[in-house]
Structures are given as C-alpha cells and as structure tokens.
C-alpha cells in the first residue's frame, strides 16, 4: 500500500463519494477508484459499499489507522521544514467547549502573529472524546480537564477554575449567594455523565462531605447543562466559564465553598515526541493563558500543584 491509496480511502470517508473525494484530492474519479481497488485487492477485503454507499466495517477500521499514518507523515514534514527556518506545518488541537469560548480567539490571533506558517485545526469536544483522539494520534494535543488516567500522555496543568451552582430565578435557591455543599445532599441536579472527568471530581467531593449527589439528568456538555439550568430545567454544577460574561437573564450564579476547583490541562502523547508546530502552539497557549486567564471570572492561574496523570 502507498500514501495515495490511504489518502483516497480517507477522502471517501470524509466526503462520502468517489467523485467528492476526487474533487477534494484535486484529481479525477477514476484515479480514486483505482487507488481504492488496489488497496482492497492488497488487503483482501471490501472497503467501500458500492451499493448503499459509505464505508464497510473493514473500511472504517482501515480509515482509522490510515488517518494516523497520514498525520504522522505530515508531522515528519513539518519537523524537517521547521529545523532552520520559521516553524511551519499543521497542529491538530482539541479543546473543551467552555475553555474554547474565551481562549481560542486569543490563541489563534497570537499564533497568526508569532507563527504565521502554522496551520491550526481545532476540534471542540468533551474530555472523554478528546483524550482518545490524542492517544490515537488523530489530534496532536488537547486542552481538557483533569483527572486524566493514561500513562501514554504528558499532562501539563494550565489553570484552575471555580465550580458553581447555576439556577434559574424560579429555583428555590435563587435568593442565595452562597450555599454549603451539604445543602446539595440528595437534591436533584443536572450532572455530567457517570465516569466523566468532571463527575469524578464531584463524586470525590461528595464522598468527602458525606453527601449524595442525585442526578435529575446526566448531560455530556457543560455549556448544555448551563443552558438547561438557565431555562429552568434544574440546578446544575458547572465550571464558571460555562456562562459567558456577556450573558444576562433570569438566572443566578451561586458559590458553593465546599466544591473543589477543576484543573484544566494540556495533554499530548509521550511518544512520538511532539512536532514543531505542536510545540509552538502549546508554547503560545501558555503565554496567552498568562495574559488572559485572570481576566476570566472564576479562572485562577495557580493550580494546587503539578498533577500527575493519575491525579
């Protein structure tokens, strides 16, 4: 197999048809068909369902590995072209949504100034979806929240962030500025899914205070939890940056002193080493956070201590 064959099958996965893949690769459809047919013959499997369209199960497995190979080839080229000149190449970065809202505009602006030849591809997602993509090599790095338990990753804490209780004005706690964590015992709450990083933080805090957090619903997404709370669906424990600073309306932010801060960190693979564009992006990221972080309500540049991946 060769790079052209892998590029062809990935293009079909991304664009849906042979003709669309050919346009994306700036070639003709017959070339794409030939590359895929040769790859199928070499592997002895069918990769594309030519009757119903889309990939076969084997095709999806091949595409997953092909993406990693093509990404590694891009990283090799980026490293070599960045040895004696300005850094250039592609950095594929994931970021959780609450952090993306305030951090990405400043980061992308600063990158375009400091490293104009670095092309950044940004993927928004939850910590639970971004971490596997870093491990697999689909992403070069990601901005996620701890705890992360994966020895294959290098974890660098960036900042800590307050967790708050968010309620609509109609909620029974809406007249309060502060509540104790023990008052949340067995109260219906909008919570992150069981097993997610934020839920693990909350469960530890609940256990330490001998209370039970009762989920009214489990929502995978801090911004969605915040929206539901503001709309009066229920009370939610969310990071402070889940609520934009410009947002006004009939809701209350309530401090809960017993809740810990969540720690946001960058993660990247331990092996192979990060590409030059990735390192440039992470260095710029840290400088932007130093400049912008404390301007965000609830964000604190000091983290309790350097945290291991098993924090």
CATH number of domain containing 235: 3.40.190.290
Rounded Cα–Cα distance for residues 61 and 13 (Å): 11
Is 216 part of a structural domain of the chain?
Answer: yes
The answer to whether residues 132 and 188 belong to one domain is: no
CATH number of domain containing 136: 3.40.190.10
CATH number of domain containing 56: 1.10.10.10
CA distance from start to end of the chain = 42
C-beta separation of 232 from 216 below 8 A = no
Structural domain including 284 reads: 82-157+264-300
Rounded Cα–Cα distance for residues 167 and 206 (Å): 19
* pLDDT tens figures, 206-262: 999 999 999 999 998 898 999 999 999 999 999 999 988 778 778 999 999 989 999
Q: What is the mean pLDDT of residues 117-136?
A: 91
Q: What is the mean pLDDT of residues 278-302?
A: 92
Is 308 part of a structural domain of the chain?
Answer: no
Question: Could you give the 3-state DSSP secondary structure of residue 246?
Answer: coil
In the structure encoding, which two tokens stand for residue 188, read together?
A: 């219906």
Is 306 part of a structural domain of the chain?
Answer: no
Number of domains in the chain: 3
Parallel, antiparallel, or unpaired: how do β-strands 89-95 and 118-124 relate?
parallel
Q: What does 33-96 look like in DSSP terms, one character per residue?
A: HHHHHHHHHHHTS--B-TTT-SB-HHHHHHHHHHHHHHHHHHHHHHHHHTSSSS--EEEEEEE-
Q: Domain boundary at 27, 62, 79, which?
A: 79
The answer to whether residues 192 and 117 belong to one domain is: no
Rounded Cα–Cα distance for residues 237 and 206 (Å): 12
The answer to whether residues 55 and 94 belong to one domain is: no
Q: In the prediction, which pLDDT does 305 show? A: 43
Residue position matching structure tokens 């047919």: 37
Other beta carbons less than 10 A from residue 256's beta carbon: 18
Q: What is the mean pLDDT of residues 11-29?
A: 89
- 26-35, 223-232, 302-311 — which is least confidently predicted? 302-311
The answer to whether residues 211 and 286 belong to one domain is: no
Alpha helices, DSSP H only, in 82-187?
A: 97-114, 127-136
pTM: 0.74
Other beta carbons less than 10 A from residue 59's beta carbon: 23
pLDDT tops 50 at residue 272: yes
The answer to whether residues 150 and 275 belong to one domain is: yes
C-beta separation of 13 from 32 below 8 A = no
pLDDT tops 60 at residue 311: no
C-beta separation of 154 from 222 below 8 A = no
* pLDDT tens figures, 136-159: 888 999 999 998 888 889 999 999
Helix axis angle for 97-114 and 276-292, nearest 10°, is 110
Spell 118-143 as b/e; 16+ CB within 10 A means b: bebeeeebbbbebbebbbebbbbbbb
């Amino acid at each position: 197999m060769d790079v052209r064959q892998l590029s062809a099958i990935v293009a079909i996965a991304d664009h849906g048809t042979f003709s669309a893949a050919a346009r994306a690769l700036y070639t003709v459809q017959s070339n794409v068909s030939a590359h895929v047919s040769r790859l199928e013959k070499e592997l002895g499997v069918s990769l594309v369902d030519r009757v119903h369209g889309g990939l076969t199960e084997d095709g999806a497995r091949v595409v997953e590995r092909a993406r990693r190979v093509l990404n590694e080839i891009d990283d090799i080229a980026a490293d070599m072209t960045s040895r004696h000149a300005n850094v250039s190449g592609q950095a594929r970065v994931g970021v959780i949504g609450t952090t993306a809202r305030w951090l990405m505009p400043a980061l992308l602006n600063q990158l375009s100034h400091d490293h104009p030849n670095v092309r950044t591809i940004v993927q928004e997602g939850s910590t639970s979806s971004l971490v596997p993509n870093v491990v697999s090599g689909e992403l070069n790095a990601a901005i996620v929240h701890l705890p992360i338990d994966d020895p294959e990753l290098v974890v660098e804490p960036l900042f800590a962030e307050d967790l708050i209780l968010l309620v609509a004005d109609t909620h029974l706690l809406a007249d309060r500025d502060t509540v104790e964590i023990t008052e949340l015992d067995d109260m219906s709450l909008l919570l992150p899914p069981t097993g997610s990083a934020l839920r693990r933080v909350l469960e530890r805090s609940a256990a330490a205070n001998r209370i039970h957090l009762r989920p009214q619903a489990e929502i995978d997404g801090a911004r969605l939890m915040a929206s539901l709370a503001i709309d009066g669906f229920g009370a939610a424990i969310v990071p402070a940056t889940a609520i934009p600073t410009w947002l006004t309306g009939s809701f209350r932010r309530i401090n809960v002193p017993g809740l810990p801060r969540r720690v946001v960190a960058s993660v990247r693979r331990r092996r192979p080493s990060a590409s030059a564009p990735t390192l440039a992006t992470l260095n710029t990221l840290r400088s932007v956070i130093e400049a912008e972080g404390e301007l965000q309500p609830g964000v604190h540049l000091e983290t309790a201590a350097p945290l291991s991946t098993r924090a």
